[in-house]
Amino acid sequence: MLTMTRRLGFSAAKADWLDHLTSEQNHTLFGETASPEPYGHNYTLDVGVKGEIDPRTGMVINIKILDNLVKERVISVLDRKFLNRAASEFRETPPTVEALTRFIVQKLRDDLPSEITLASIRLEETPLLFSEWQLPEKSEGLEQNKFEKEEEIIVQITHVYEFSAAHRLDSPHLTESENKDVFGKCNNPAGHGHNYVLEVTIAGQIGANGRVIDPVDLDCLVKKEVVDRYDHKHLNEDLEDFSAEIPSAEVITKTIWTRLVNQVPAPARLSRIVLRETARNIFEYRGEEN
């Protein structure tokens, strides 16, 4: 099968507030962002579908058919709307980016042509926050309405962070000449630096607060274990993390995973770490089981 992804967009407002709750309950649920006043985002939606290439058209699906379906079932409901009141699904559960992702999955998966399967949804609220859903492997080949019940839908939420750090690539297992040959300019004795971009992805079911994990808790965890620890440091000289290892981007990526994986509160779990060292060097780790 072949997968194709179509990108669309919509603009909408929402409030971190549920009308049926008291002010105290809303502040407990949403924390410092609790307010009945709306704020908006320009959302970017990627819809992935998979199927065999139709020999008559050379396409998996006619883009016009997919566009019309998404516009009818999703865009027309959400675009330029106050999301808290746009659909009944958001009367009890706030329209977080995770809840919106689940809503879109439910609206699209049963109405695609029979030979096409909804494969993925990616919804970006801001460049620093996006949510994803992917068709579970066990669901391959099953009818759309059988592959997941609402309470079983697993959504991934990604927060993006930045830190700047210096390092030197130098191996004690190589000679001075070999180190220069292998690492080139990156073997400079004074080191060199990068502005790292870190993506931390958490997977799980959506709770009553519309979230997979409390965003404040996640930000505090990553800030403590990674950003504050590594930012404006020389990784070789300032940190014990790399005293016995070369702080290559590969090693940094796995080290960040190790620092976070056992600290994510259940039932959520760490799903993926992506480290962007440069625009051309990107590293991803999902744990040894993946």
Pick the closest to residue 196 from 167, 158, 157 (CA basis).
Answer: 167
Half-sphere exposure of 161 (CA within 13 A, CB side): 23
Residue 208's pLDDT is 85
Residues 226 and 268 reside in one and the same domain: yes
Choose the catalytic residue: 143, 178, 232, 237. 232
User: How does residue 218 score in pLDDT terms, banded at 50, 70 and 90?
Assistant: very high
Residues 119 and 166 reside in one and the same domain: no
Examine the pLDDT at 196 and tell me if it is beyond 70.
yes
Residues 173 and 211 reside in one and the same domain: yes
Residues 134 and 11 reside in one and the same domain: yes
Boundary of a domain, candidates 139, 167, 198: 139
CATH number at residue 234: 3.30.479.10
Boundary of a domain, candidates 106, 139, 172: 139
Residue 258 in domain = yes
Examine the pLDDT at 145 and tell me if it is beyond 50.
no
Q: Which residues contact 289 (CB under 8 A, 6 or more apart)?
A: none
Mean pLDDT lowest for which of 37-41, 111-115, 177-181? 111-115
With beta carbons less than 8 A apart as the criterion, state whether 257 and 273 touch: yes
User: How does residue 140 score in pLDDT terms, banded at 50, 70 and 90?
Assistant: low
| pLDDT tens figures, 222-240 | 999 999 999 999 999 999 9
Q: Residue 281: exposed, middle, or buried by beta-carbon count in 10 A (0-12, 13-18, 19+)?
A: exposed
Q: What angle do CA 57, 60, 64 make, to 5 degrees?
A: 75
Residue 147 in domain = no
Pick the closest to residue 17 from 28, 8, 4, 6 (CA basis).
Answer: 28
Helix (H) / strand (E) element for 121: namely strand 117-126
Half-sphere exposure of 256 (CA within 13 A, CB side): 36
- Measured between alpha carbons, how far is 119 from 3 in angstroms, rounded to an integer? 8
Examine the pLDDT at 2 and tell me if it is beyond 90.
yes
277 as an active site residue: the answer is: yes
Residues 245 and 129 reside in one and the same domain: no
Q: Which residues contact 244 (CB under 8 A, 6 or more apart)?
A: none
Boundary of a domain, candidates 85, 110, 139: 139
Residues 75 and 173 reside in one and the same domain: no
Residues 162 and 240 reside in one and the same domain: yes
| pLDDT tens figures, 28-48 | 988 888 999 999 999 999 999
Mean pLDDT of 232-249: 94
Largest CA distance in the chain: 70
- Number of independent structural domains in the chain: 2
Mean pLDDT lowest for which of 45-54, 80-89, 138-147? 138-147
Residue 290 in domain = no
Helix (H) / strand (E) element for 54: namely none
Residue 70 in domain = yes
- Beta strands 129-134 and 155-167: pairing type? antiparallel
Residues 111 and 199 reside in one and the same domain: no
Examine the pLDDT at 150 and tell me if it is beyond 70.
no
Residues 7 and 133 reside in one and the same domain: yes
Residues 133 and 167 reside in one and the same domain: no
Residue 194, both tokens: 């990068």
Examine the pLDDT at 165 and tell me if it is beyond 70.
yes
Choose the catalytic residue: 27, 186, 199, 225. 186
Residues 169 and 134 reside in one and the same domain: no
Residue 144 in domain = no
Examine the pLDDT at 88 and tell me if it is beyond 50.
yes
Q: Which residues contact 5 (CB under 8 A, 6 or more apart)?
A: 46, 47, 48, 49, 120
Residues 264 and 171 reside in one and the same domain: yes
- Measured between alpha carbons, how far is 252 from 241 in angstroms, rounded to an integer? 9
Residue 18 in domain = yes
Residue 109, both tokens: 């998966």
173 as an active site residue: the answer is: no
Choose the catalytic residue: 124, 132, 148, 277. 277
With beta carbons less than 8 A apart as the criterion, state whether 14 and 94 touch: yes
Residue 46 belongs to what domain range?
2-139
3-state DSSP call for residue 5?
strand
220 as an active site residue: the answer is: no
Residue 148 in domain = no
- Measured between alpha carbons, how far is 134 from 122 in angstroms, rounded to an integer? 9
